[in-house]
Structure 1
């Protein structure tokens, strides 16, 4: 079996090959190799040069009278290491992923609180609100390790290091982290699942580096947080099958890679020095999130009132009783038929404005650089599209050449503009931050160098466009931030008390920066149309392809000290506050507290309603 490079027609187009005899297949069970990974090697080079790739195959050798086997595709959690076939003498280096798991926070309720409610009524024992028993599973290439179970704790602190042995290079590309809830009487439930792409936290080549990550918070997404005693229709989202729609907590982790024989102990406690070392990554700053709604149309719900909720992380979640209330939703409104085709919400002169306070780590030194590269990509895509339009429309050669030269000149100028340094935030930058910063600088320098040569060469416009699209791919590969600890902004459409549709907006797209204008998010403070979508499980047939709603709004996220910049952008508007939230307390023996409140919640409006 040979794997070849389809772009090459030369004799050295061979990537790798694997040889096996027919008898070995026929002697196996049912004369079949089912879902086996073959390690590819180079025929020209020695086998000690290592793996050239992996090929997943199912092979059967059938004789007269034998039944034809049924081939089934492997699942994502398939045990790869035990189904790997490699030639004798091939040098596959062994190594180990060292994952330090420190703590988690904002985990949702996973267990019914019926018994705890009885405790409250009978006043027996202490009522526990953290109805979750979490532990974390670290998986790669079919192997996994687990942390200890922390009982009734939605902010657990594990402080454990999981050492998972690997073969390097591996055919797997993602690390899998799964939060689970321990159950005594039934199978453990999935809280949420997160993935880390190895290609994003490592690099190949002469200046490459082994996968490394953190210390950094990793966000988890899945089905809506609201606990249901009965089965969750979208539980598969918590297993990583489909796009998670709701924020379900986050975990502080750090990972490094070591080559060589793995240590004898696979789970150890983290030293107190390492625990203290990550304290600086827990430092929080106050953020403000604004959402100015312009209009809502294409609304599919016509029988019940509709409201839209905006949240970031757990802040703004109105259906979670453990979250401090914030003005995070629009007023419930019934959709109106426009007389033609669509239903819309009748927001006329008075538009909803939502403001949410939250606290997160300041990672502007990462996201500023990311947004600068995204701005370069957006401009290059726009210019390439313009050149293609000119070519298709039959414009003159001089006009096409003028647009091509402008595109190249602008690209060279953008790539030569220096990326912002870490500055005062250098103490919060980890090893991966420095590695990716240098990688991005090298790629930008290489694109500028190649674009300069391209400008000097007189080649056809079509070939120039092909070359520019190669530069676009190079830039897109570095326009990824694996250590984005800011959760996505989630906009929900709520009908009655049920969440029906959502849209996730990455926080960096609406993040404000005071460093440079192109360091702000692409949609920061800009009016943009967002198309909501229904929750959908991967692989599950769902015929609801209609758009639930289309929202046109402005989103702005930034530090509290920069919030004045949002109000400057709303100069054509008048902002009015119609309601205030009150904190209710009672005076017992001269002490003010929210303990002992009768008939009123901890937070309410002026009438005492939640």
Structure 2
């Protein structure tokens, strides 16, 4: 669309609403629409990360320490770098394919550096297997991978999913490092705020006795009442490469 003096205000406002909705659904690609009726204001509930980025300046209600200020300056610097890369004309010539891939890797590295927080609010989560009062195996999770959010783009990769985890041998200063796998467990992991409590067991497999909400502090376990039937099949194959024991073949060895 070409913008000039002949375009009416109604058309301009319609294009503005399209662009605004696109901006607020672009960061995660979840396709969520705005719930606010005011077309001139963005909704921070949909994408809080984008809202913080758009209003990253210090305000009266924002308490920033020295590291927060340095991180803000670093993000603004990377945004300027990204602006310079995007404003340049892209040359996707087949003869310069290697240079194009290098530039794309640089852009991906900048996004990765912007996403890493120097002082995360939540510590890493460890799952330990204890045997005879000793920690023999563990699994480590990043809290951002388990955080739940209604917006799919801000939801953690492993939040609310049944997954298979292999426990590793911990490193010790007195023993030789061994990277073997000690156990395999299936886990359903979920981490979130009290506001999202009704979504905790939403994707849990059927068969569990769902507790009543709100959850009580003394609740430690939930019971599984479902049943599963398994069928085991065994296939025996004759060793054709070996010499037959008799003419009937009934005495031939089996693998």
- 1:513, distance to aligned residue in structure 2 (A): 3.1
Distance 1:494 1:575, change over 3 A: same
The match for 1:575 among 194, 203, 208 is: 208
The match for 1:547 among 157, 181, 196 is: 181
- 1:502, distance to aligned residue in structure 2 (A): 0.8
- 1:481, distance to aligned residue in structure 2 (A): 1.5
Distance 2:152 2:217 in 1: 38
Q: TM-score, normalised by structure 1?
A: 0.24
Distance 1:521 1:569 in 2: 14
- Counting only pairs closer than 5 Å after superposition, residues 55-70 of structure 1 correspond to structure 2 as none
Q: Which secondary structure state, in structure 2, belongs to the residue aligned with residue 455 of structure 1?
A: coil
Richer in strand (by share): 1
Distance 1:486 1:522 in 2: 16
Residue by residue over 1:181-238, the C-alpha shift from the partner in whole angstroms, topping out at 9 and shown as x without a partner, is xxxxxxxxxxxxxxxxxxxxxxxxxxxxxxxxxxxxxxxxxxxxxxxxxxxxxxxxxx
Residue by residue over 1:214-272, the C-alpha shift from the partner in whole angstroms, topping out at 9 and shown as x without a partner, is xxxxxxxxxxxxxxxxxxxxxxxxxxxxxxxxxxxxxxxxxxxxxxxxxxxxxxxxxxx
Structure 2: gaps of 5 or more residues? 1-25, 30-48, 221-255
1:498 corresponds to 2:130: no
Distance 2:84 2:210 in 1: 54
Matched residue, 1:562:
196
Distance 1:444 1:519, change over 3 A: farther
Q: Which secondary structure state, in structure 2, belongs to the residue aligned with residue 490 of structure 1?
A: strand
Tell me, yes or no, if the aligned pair for 1:493 and 1:501 is still in contact at 8 Å.
yes
- 1:491, distance to aligned residue in structure 2 (A): 0.8
Matched length: 167
- Counting only pairs closer than 5 Å after superposition, residues 476-487 of structure 1 correspond to structure 2 as 476-487=112-123
1:524 corresponds to 2:155: no
Distance 1:582 1:565 in 2: 17
1:508 corresponds to 2:144: yes
1:420 corresponds to 2:56: no
Structure number with the bigger relative contact order (C-alpha 8 A, sep ≥ 6) is: 1
Richer in helix (by share): 2
Distance 1:524 1:577, change over 3 A: closer
Q: After TM superposition, which residue ranges in structure 1, 4 or more long, deviate above 6 angstroms? A: 422-425
Q: TM-score, normalised by structure 2?
A: 0.51
Distance 1:426 1:437 in 2: 16
Q: Which secondary structure state, in structure 1, belongs to the residue aligned with residue 127 of structure 2?
A: strand
